[in-house]
Chains A and B, each alone.
Chain A
Amino acid sequence: MRKSRLLYVPFWATYVFLYTPIVVLVVMSFNAGDSPYVYEGFSLEWYGTLAKNAAIREGLVNTLIVAVGSTVLATVLGTLLAVGLARHTRSRALDALGMLPAVLPDLVLGIGLLVFYATIKSTLGLHSVLLAHTVFGMAFVTAVVRTRLTHADTSLEEASRDLGATPFTTFVRITLPQLAPGILAGALLAFTLSIDEFVIAFFTAAPTTPTLPIVIYSMVRFGVTPEINALATLLLLVSFTAVIVTQRMTRLTESLS
């Protein structure tokens, strides 16, 4: 196969483009000076300031509550829905409905839920964000579990039914264990997406219950401080670790099966 040397220019340009901002961000978080732009020597000062920032701590706690709650809800609802769509109906319209939250622009879902909460005169707070995040989390759990179901061997389920097991027993003892890796992957996806989600939370949170992305957004809007660099670096570290661990885990499960 012919490989043109010229192709390497856009190839490396892509990686330089993707990683330069990240590297600059991380380096500046260890800056001794007050400026987030000009490097003046190594210091951990901004990490100390960050640890004392109450708004960020509060945002982090809110984000975790929303992420854990919506992931649990989305995983239960999404798994049931995936099984229902794969085994109990042939409706393509219902299939499309299950996927809709994943393809709908987040802005539209956000304002839709905002007017919905206002119309039913519901208060806003962590509960409203949690319920909103469940909508799209559920779509991703459904998608992942559904893919696994179409590849799953149905003969075990049939055997279980033929041997007289109730649908409930078949589901708990046969279907669920087969689906476990898919459910876990879907739950992880829902959790990660919820932690990072900004737009829908922006429209459905109360001013008193900001999630971490909302706290970051208002910090960035009011000006740039090295404290945000420190926070960003920590968030990068968490995401990078999560991606690499997931990557390793999937390779592990692939080699096991």
Chain B
Amino acid sequence: MTRSTGSGASVRSRARRSRALGRLVFLGPGLTYLIVLLLIPLALLISFTVFRRGRFGGIVYELTAENFTRLFDPLYLGVVIGSLRLAAIATLIALLVGYPTAYLIAQLPQKWKTIALVAIVLPFWTNFLVRIYAWIILLSGPGLVNSTLMDLGLIDKPLELLYNQGTIVTGLVYSYLPLMVLPLYAAIEKLDPQLREASANLGAGPVRTFASVTLPLTLPGVLTGCLFVFVPSFGNFIIPELLGGGRSIMVGNLIRDQFLKSRDWPFGSTLALALIAVLIVLLLAQAWSARRA
């Protein structure tokens, strides 16, 4: 009604004002929150990488490149490479276990499919620390694994199952396996079964069909799953600390220690930046290959 009484120009300016108001009301609060509590903290971290540490923690605002040169110190570079290695092994194991599992779930009747999927996700929704703790109970000297092996007469005295790199990998696979199975399942589920039949009819064996039909078509799911496992594994500091016994430390522990123990914020920020850089490279690689697929 107001609309018909106003002149064309005033209607347009009112519409523009109401659009601006809409933007302010809907985008304003959330974006302000993200700028203050996400972008400013990240900008602080990034700016710290070029400054010197204070003698008692904190920052001295003198420009320096020493944080970056320290990054290539064999001691720290070794930790970064070691973390990449452990995260990669965990990702590979999760893929090798997760792929056949997801493949079989996709073939189940609808009712069992839902149950099987919920059963995969269920442990993931339980407290992270509780799941890690469960492994300490299971793998400790007098724990179930050792006592079973001894009862079977396979070993005479308990094995040292806890506090080594294998334990860390076990913890990582256990924690993030559901994140591998879900995208794999989504990719396999979408696959047209007729393609596999066609391949079989044309004389390809199961291995050939898998290698040249199933695997290439589910590759985006494979990459997503690998990313979902690798990313939280690489920056993890709880699993190495609780299951690795502090002897083999990962880049996450190193970053944590820079902030809470040695109070070297500039170097801690530089390590965090390196962590993000690795993850960005991986995300870009994944986006690139997804677009090609």
Q: Measuring CB to CB, which residues of chain A are less than 8 angstroms from any residue of chain B?
A: 1-4, 7-11, 13-15, 17-22, 24-25, 28, 35-38, 76-78, 80-81, 83-85, 87-89, 94, 97-98, 100-101, 103-109, 111-116, 119, 131-132, 134-135, 138, 142, 164, 166-167, 192, 196, 198-199, 203, 213, 216-217, 220-221, 224, 228-229, 231-232, 235-236, 239-240, 242-244, 247
Q: Does B75 contact A (CB under 8 A)?
A: no
Q: A171: shortest Cβ distance to chain B, in Å?
A: 8
Please report whether the interface of chain A is mostly helix, strand, loop or mixed according to DSSP. Answer: helix
**A residues near B119, Cβ cutoff 8 Å:** 15, 18-19
Q: Measuring CB to CB, which residues of chain B are less than 8 angstroms from any residue of chain A?
A: 1-3, 18-19, 21-23, 25-31, 33-34, 37-42, 44-45, 48, 96-98, 100-101, 103-105, 107, 118-123, 125-138, 140-144, 147, 174, 177, 181, 193, 196-197, 200, 206, 231-232, 235, 237-238, 241-242, 252, 255-256, 259-260, 265, 268-269, 272, 275-276, 279, 283
Alpha-carbon distance A224/B44, docked complex (angstroms): 39
What are 21 pairs between A and B in contact, CB < 8 Å? A7-B103, A11-B100, A14-B101, A15-B119, A17-B177, A21-B135, A85-B27, A87-B22, A94-B31, A97-B31, A100-B34, A108-B272, A108-B275, A111-B272, A115-B269, A132-B37, A164-B3, A216-B127, A232-B130, A235-B126, A242-B125
Lowest 6 A-B CB distances belong to which pairs? A81-B30, A84-B26, A112-B41, A21-B134, A84-B27, A116-B41
Is A11 a contact partner of B101 (Cβ separation < 8 A)? Answer: yes
- Given A19-B123, A89-B23, A167-B18, are A105 and B128 also a contact pair (CB < 8 Å)? no
**B residues near A24, Cβ cutoff 8 Å:** 134, 137-138, 144
**A residues near B129, Cβ cutoff 8 Å:** 198, 213, 216-217, 220
- Given A138-B33, A142-B30, A164-B3, are A37 and B143 also a contact pair (CB < 8 Å)? yes
Is B104 a contact partner of A7 (Cβ separation < 8 A)? Answer: yes
Is A25 a contact partner of B133 (Cβ separation < 8 A)? Answer: yes
Q: A185: shortest Cβ distance to chain B, in Å?
A: 14
Is B134 a contact partner of A88 (Cβ separation < 8 A)? Answer: no
Alpha-carbon distance A17/B136, docked complex (angstroms): 14
**B residues near A119, Cβ cutoff 8 Å:** 44
**A residues near B19, Cβ cutoff 8 Å:** 88
Q: B277: shortest Cβ distance to chain A, in Å?
A: 11
Is A138 a contact partner of B30 (Cβ separation < 8 A)? Answer: yes
Q: B204: shortest Cβ distance to chain A, in Å?
A: 12
Alpha-carbon distance A119/B137, docked complex (angstroms): 41
Is A243 a contact partner of B122 (Cβ separation < 8 A)? Answer: yes
Chain B residue with the shortest CB-CB distance to A26: B134
**A residues near B200, Cβ cutoff 8 Å:** 2
**A residues near B42, Cβ cutoff 8 Å:** 108, 112
Alpha-carbon distance A43/B40, docked complex (angstroms): 52
Is B123 a contact partner of A22 (Cβ separation < 8 A)? Answer: yes
- Given A14-B98, A216-B127, are A88 and B38 also a contact pair (CB < 8 Å)? no
Q: B282: shortest Cβ distance to chain A, in Å?
A: 11
Q: A133: shortest Cβ distance to chain B, in Å?
A: 11
Is A164 a contact partner of B1 (Cβ separation < 8 A)? Answer: yes
- Given A14-B177, A116-B40, are A196 and B137 also a contact pair (CB < 8 Å)? no
Chain B residue with the shortest CB-CB distance to A73: B33
**B residues near A21, Cβ cutoff 8 Å:** 131, 134-135, 137-138, 174
Given A11-B105, A135-B33, list of 8 further CB < 8 A pairs?
A1-B193, A7-B103, A22-B126, A111-B272, A113-B37, A113-B41, A166-B18, A198-B129
Chain A residue with the shortest CB-CB distance to B241: A221
Chain B residue with the shortest CB-CB distance to A105: B235
The one of A18, A131, A231 that contacts B174, using a Cβ cutoff of 8 Å: A18
Is A36 a contact partner of B37 (Cβ separation < 8 A)? Answer: no
Is B26 a contact partner of A116 (Cβ separation < 8 A)? Answer: no
**B residues near A85, Cβ cutoff 8 Å:** 27
Alpha-carbon distance A113/B125, docked complex (angstroms): 25
Is B26 a contact partner of A115 (Cβ separation < 8 A)? Answer: no
**B residues near A217, Cβ cutoff 8 Å:** 129, 238
- Given A15-B119, A135-B34, A232-B133, are A80 and B126 also a contact pair (CB < 8 Å)? no
**A residues near B279, Cβ cutoff 8 Å:** 105
Alpha-carbon distance A77/B256, docked complex (angstroms): 30
Q: B246: shortest Cβ distance to chain A, in Å?
A: 10
Chain A residue with the shortest CB-CB distance to B178: A18
Is A247 a contact partner of B33 (Cβ separation < 8 A)? Answer: no
Chain A residue with the shortest CB-CB distance to B144: A24
Is A87 a contact partner of B26 (Cβ separation < 8 A)? Answer: yes
Is B33 a contact partner of A88 (Cβ separation < 8 A)? Answer: no
**B residues near A220, Cβ cutoff 8 Å:** 129, 132-133, 136, 242
Q: A95: shortest Cβ distance to chain B, in Å?
A: 11
Is A228 a contact partner of B100 (Cβ separation < 8 A)? Answer: no
Alpha-carbon distance A94/B38, docked complex (angstroms): 13
**B residues near A101, Cβ cutoff 8 Å:** 34, 38
Alpha-carbon distance A85/B2, docked complex (angstroms): 29
Chain A residue with the shortest CB-CB distance to B273: A108
**A residues near B21, Cβ cutoff 8 Å:** 167
**B residues near A87, Cβ cutoff 8 Å:** 22, 26
